[in-house]
Chain A
Amino acid sequence: MKDRPRIQDWDWPLAAIVAAISTLGVLEVYSSTHASGMAGMHWKQLMWIGIGLIGMFLISRIDYHTLMDQAPALYMFGLATLLIVLVIGHSRFGARRWVALGGGVNLQVSELMKLIIIVVLARFFTDVRTDRLTLRDIVKVAVLTGIPVGLILIQPDLGTALVLIPVAVVGAFLAGIEWKHSAVGLVIIALMIPVAWNMRHHLKPYQQQRIETFLHPEENPRGAGYQILQSEIAVGSGGFWGQGFGKGSQNQLGFVPVRYSDFILAALSEEQGFIGVCVVLLLYLGLILRLVDNAQKAKDRAGMYIIMGVTAILGFHVLVNASMVIGYMPVTGIPLPLMSYGGSATAFVYMALGLVMNVRMRRFVN
């Protein structure tokens, strides 16, 4: 028994997997952009990783119990920033998601909300203290999650809004949701689908288009279905062995949409083939299994909920993004964690992993 958490107690195998995925990401960002007007993007991505590492280190230093003590305050702070961004945030791609931090740096505040919801729900589930969630508890979880989801939907950012939900679902599952409740929940979701379908005309035009795209990708090759079709072409033409680094025509000639970010897996699939995809997806599987392993070895339920909240978000990201690239899911703007280019998203993943390390390094501490 030690009485002080030490950085030597970080999960270094986990860090190695993260390093490997990040390296592949930076390389593919380089390959996708080096011959275009966006050359040099990989240096920026390295900078974001650096910032993420600092955040990761800092977050791992503060005892997660201390963080969870502040959960109500963090929650209110998160909701406040979401409201502020709706009022003063500036638009990009038709959505208000960004606040200027000065110096030309914009923070996507919904990324911050992801961290906060992990801590808030972890505290809530720990506080339940039984292995049987009551309906009351479930309603409380739904409200706690629903408010930020609603605020993010208004921005509008369907992708990030959806990402919060798995934290609640996985948490509820681990906290011991009753079969009848989950069954009712599934029925409600099943009933919601036709309602949502009829509501689609109230969606923003870009969201309507994304749904149309998903349902009929081939209808208009240059219009709505273009992105998904081009992504599938990139993946498919990669074949088993790939076209080679920097040699994918879909990627290099710009047919793959946002090939350095949301569709980076399509770019990688084209250049590295099925072999490359196997390596990447198995690395992600390794990441998830290693995270679950950390949850299993956590000192207490609070730590477990923190780690599984992170796992739920990352797993959801990987599943949705990879499905989108091969046309199994509509385009929702959910990036591939650790690989897609993006400042706020990259920083979030590293800070979320900081929470995991936080729990890990304190498992033997009293």
Chain B
Amino acid sequence: MDDTAIKVENLSKTFKLPHEKYSSVKSSFVNFYRKRTYETQKALDDISFEIKKGEFFGIVGRNGSGKSTLLKLIAGIYAPTRGTVTIDGSLTPFIELGVGFNPELTGRENVYLNGALLGFNRKEMRAMYKDIVEFAELEKFMDQKLKNYSSGMQVRLAFSIAIRAHSDILLLDEVLAVGDAAFQQKCYDYFNKLKEEKKTIILVSHSMPIVEKYCDRALLLEDGQLSKIGESDKIAGLYEAMFLKEETKRIENQRNEQKQSDDGPIKIHKVEITQGTKITKNVQAKRNFSINVSLESKVDLEKANVGINIKNRDRIMLVSTDNIEKIGGLKLRKNKKIEIFFDIENILTDGVYIVNIGVADYSPIIPVMLYRKEHVQEFNVSGVGPHAKSLTHPNITVEIDGGK
């Protein structure tokens, strides 16, 4: 057990969910003698893994895959149905920020209460009170009741108390889901500091960039079972692929449904991605690619505008263009199929992208939207190389003046 911080062996957790809750007096009398039936739900099934000391370890998986259950078992909040969790070192007792915060108490009182939950007595809390308040930037609000705080203020306060807990092993469940950008930056700085201090950290997150950035290794849970454990970027990729597969399926279903109700004037025949001469969904990085849209209109249009945009998996728009911007309005003849090619410089980095499309009539003073659809096509980009984690990778030339 020398360099192992957490050892999980054959861990299983089964929940008993009663089929019916007898909430009324009558039903409870009627059902009193009937045996209660349970449905058993296997939240975790035979999980084994080890986390080394000083490791930043991620747990990823979809909602309901058992991530939080696993974290609660490690924290000792749940008792395992089978198997064991062995922990070497002190462990933070909480899995969420601001546990035990009481809205009826003032900020000051909550600091002391929360501190006590972390194991600090009054004297110790008094010594660090000033630092906590300063870090949270809430000096003026400490004598107000917590219920009058904004949620951002509450998180700031909770976070500044939580980081005082000097445990060897920290458990964090989606802490970064809240707070503004400035606060998130503080969290990242804190993470980096923890990494330098060689603390063991377990992070449950939906955000793959964060898992890739901070975690050394990660574990993918799928329906309560350990699907894969390994380097964090590999696991993140796996999770994304899994997610994309489902997303594509969902969109396809949606598209099939939509097809029948498509009764606008515009009909999109197909949207294709080509690179070189090849139609593809796997686009190579740093090489131009093209998005080809073939469509027709049921009516004559004097000045049509076809727009496309490309979004990444976080729904951030990276590329957007239309024909009016580039070549001016488009004349569409009734029921005549046309094809438009958007040739695009590939500044995208590794990842999954979706293509959205819109068609508008620009002949009136105020343009009229005729057609709009999200996710008409998707593709992925690979091969950027070292800087694949940035959002874009434009052409960059480096020159040196003086020196070698």
Same complex origin of A and B: no
Q: Which residues of B contact A (CB under 8 A)?
A: none
Q: Which residues of A contact B (CB under 8 A)?
A: none
